[in-house]
Structure 1
Amino acid sequence: MRVRRFAEAKPYEAPNHVGMKALRLQGFEEGGPEKFWTGLSHFLPGGGAGPDSSPLEKVYVVLSGEVTVRADGEETVLGPLDSCFIAGNVVREVVNASNHVATMLVVMPYPEKAA
Structure 2
Amino acid sequence: MHVKHFQDAEPYEAPNHFGCHGLRLQGFEPDGPKNQWVGLSQFLPAGGAGPDSTPFEKVYVVLEGEMTVIIDGAETVLGKYDSCTIPANEIRTIENRSNHSCTMLVVIPYPPGVTP
TM range (shorter): over 0.9
Where 1:50 maps in the other structure, the secondary structure is strand
What residue identity is the alignment partner of 2:23? L
Match of 2:85 in 1: 85
Determine what percentage of the aligned residue pairs are the same residue.
63
Alignment size in residue pairs = 114
**What TM-score comes out, normalization by structure 1 length?**
0.96
Q: CA deviation at 1:56?
A: 1.2
Gap regions ≥5 residues in structure 2: none
RMSD: 1.0
State how 1:1-115 maps to structure 2 within 5 Å.
1-113=1-113
After the TM superposition, which segments of 4 or more aligned residues of structure 1 sit over 4 Å from their partners?
none
1:47 partner letter: G
Q: Distance in 2 between matches of 1:52 and 1:77?
A: 18
- For residues 67-111 of structure 1, the C-alpha deviation after alignment (integer angstroms, 9 at most, x for no partner) is 000124421000000000000000011100000000000000000
Q: Distance in 2 between matches of 1:87 and 1:54?
A: 9
Q: For the Cα contact (< 8 Å) 1:71–1:86, is it kept in 2?
A: no
Distance in 1 (alpha carbons) for counterparts of 2:111 and 2:74: 26
